[in-house]
């Protein structure tokens, strides 16, 4: 799956008001312990500027109202979350140097990293 339940809390903390978050947190704590942990988490990491440009270039109508500050806040929250994440193996990929759509070698490289992953945490990045 491409969903990590415990990271859902990031969006809740950023988007809900205090009362909504209190309710969310109560429900979250009730069901969190029953959610199985993944065999591997892959975090596709990028700087806010890179993500914001991609969003604008993609030109989806429902994304056009997203402000840069929101992207910045999400990136900071995700980076903090994954810096401390230790519940399952973690592969962090800085996507700025990769082109998974046009370059099949990039896909192969990541596939091999996943297949051969031995340590509990690995970071992959490539300069342009």
Element spanning 91, H or E: strand 90-94
Exposed/middle/buried for 90, CB within 10 Å: 0-12, 13-18, 19+?
Answer: buried
Q: How confident is the model at residue 118, as a pLDDT?
A: 82
Q: What is the mean pLDDT of the chain?
A: 90
Please tell me the number of Cα atoms within 13 Å of 42 on its side-chain side: 13
- Partners of residue 108 on adjacent β-strands: none
Round to whole Å and give the CA distance between 63 and 120.
34
The pLDDT-based confidence of 20 (bands split at 50, 70, 90) is: very high
Fill in the DSSP letter of residue 28.
Answer: H
pTM assigned to the model: 0.82
């Amino acid at each position: 799956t491409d969903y990590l339940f415990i990271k859902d809390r990031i969006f809740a903390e950023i988007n809900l008001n205090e009362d909504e978050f209190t309710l969310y947190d109560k429900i979250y704590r009730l069901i969190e312990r029953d959610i199985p942990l993944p065999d591997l988490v892959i975090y596709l990491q990028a700087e806010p500027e890179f993500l914001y440009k991609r969003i604008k270039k993609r030109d989806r109508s429902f994304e056009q109202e997203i402000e840069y500050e929101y992207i910045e806040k999400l990136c900071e929250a995700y980076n903090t979350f994954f810096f401390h994440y230790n519940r399952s193996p973690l592969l962090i990929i800085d996507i700025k140097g990769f082109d998974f759509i046009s370059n099949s070698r990039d896909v192969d490289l990541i596939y091999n990293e996943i297949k051969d992953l031995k340590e509990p945490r690995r970071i992959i990045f490539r300069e342009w």
